[in-house]
């Protein structure tokens, strides 16, 4: 992805975040996925053209899937655009997305706080460890059941849980958070979380009840 690609796509995703449904509409399945090659759609216009003959429910399904996929691509771009960070040169390799300081590799995963853990949520290291355990065991199976290092981008609004999709597109805030993460990692100032044989960490992208937006790296 180039800066020009980012400038266009980032705005498209912010616009799409205002109209997509709050959830998938249906569970991801191969039968529905086979109707459209979503991964060939480089822009929102090309996506809309590809899904125009589908039912409204299926159109929303693909809009939401494409939104999540493209947001993850922008997240990766914001990382590998930083000093000391490189992207995986093999786009078919699913084991890692970005590498820091020629040493540690992470698969980047955008996510939200699960409903079961939202009540009385306090973002701290104990919370982070609990979330990471949940993501690996309940949500994030890794490369078809083999786990790998993961960097979880956790989007959470204390104002309204439905607003997490807007947080996925808060690029300025994310860029600042990723720069900070990179510096802390380079300075060996991060407390990384061990889960079984792998290493993980969370970056929290947060909206408070008073509409204050900030990030946290605990």
DSSP SS3 for 110 = strand
Q: What contacts 119, CB < 8 A, 6 or more positions away? A: none
Within the chain, where are the H helices? 3-16, 30-33, 44-51, 56-80, 125-134, 164-167, 171-186
Q: Is the pLDDT of residue 33 over 90?
A: no
Q: Is the pLDDT of residue 100 over 80?
A: yes
- How far is residue 28's CA from residue 38's CA, in Å, rounded to a whole number? 13
Q: Is the pLDDT of residue 140 over 80?
A: no
Closest of 43, 60, 50 to residue 9, by C-alpha: 43
Query: DSSP assignment, residue 136?
Result: I
Q: Is the pLDDT of residue 143 over 90?
A: no
Query: What is the reported pLDDT for 26?
Result: 55
Q: Is the pTM of this model over 0.75?
A: yes
79 by Cβ neighbours in 10 Å (0-12 / 13-18 / 19+) ranks as: buried
Task: Tell me the residue length of the chain.
Answer: 218
The chain-wide mean pLDDT, for the chain, equals 92
Question: How confident is the model over 147-162, as pLDDT tens digits?
Answer: 899 999 999 999 998 8
- How far is residue 28's CA from residue 95's CA, in Å, rounded to a whole number? 21
């Amino acid at each position: 992805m180039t800066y020009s690609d980012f400038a266009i796509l980032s705005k498209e995703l912010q616009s799409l975040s205002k109209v997509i449904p709050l959830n998938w509409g249906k569970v991801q399945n191969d039968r529905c996925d086979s109707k459209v090659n979503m991964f060939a759609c480089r822009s929102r216009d090309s996506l809309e053209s590809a899904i125009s003959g589908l039912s409204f429910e299926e159109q929303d399904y693909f809009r939401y899937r494409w939104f999540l996929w493209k947001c993850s691509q922008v997240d990766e771009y914001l990382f590998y655009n930083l000093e000391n960070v490189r992207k995986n040169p093999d786009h078919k390799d699913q084991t890692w997305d970005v590498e820091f300081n020629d040493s540690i590799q992470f698969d980047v995963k955008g996510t939200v706080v699960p409903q079961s853990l939202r009540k009385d949520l306090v973002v701290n290291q104990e919370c982070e460890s609990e979330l990471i355990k949940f993501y690996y065991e309940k949500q994030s199976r890794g490369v078809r059941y083999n786990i790998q290092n993961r960097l979880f981008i956790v989007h959470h609004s204390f104002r309204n849980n439905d607003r997490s999709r807007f947080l996925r597109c808060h690029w300025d805030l994310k860029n600042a958070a990723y720069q900070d993460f990179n510096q802390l990692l380079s300075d060996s100032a991060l407390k990384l979380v061990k889960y079984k044989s792998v290493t993980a960490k969370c970056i929290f992208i947060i909206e408070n009840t008073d509409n204050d937006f900030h990030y946290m790296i605990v």
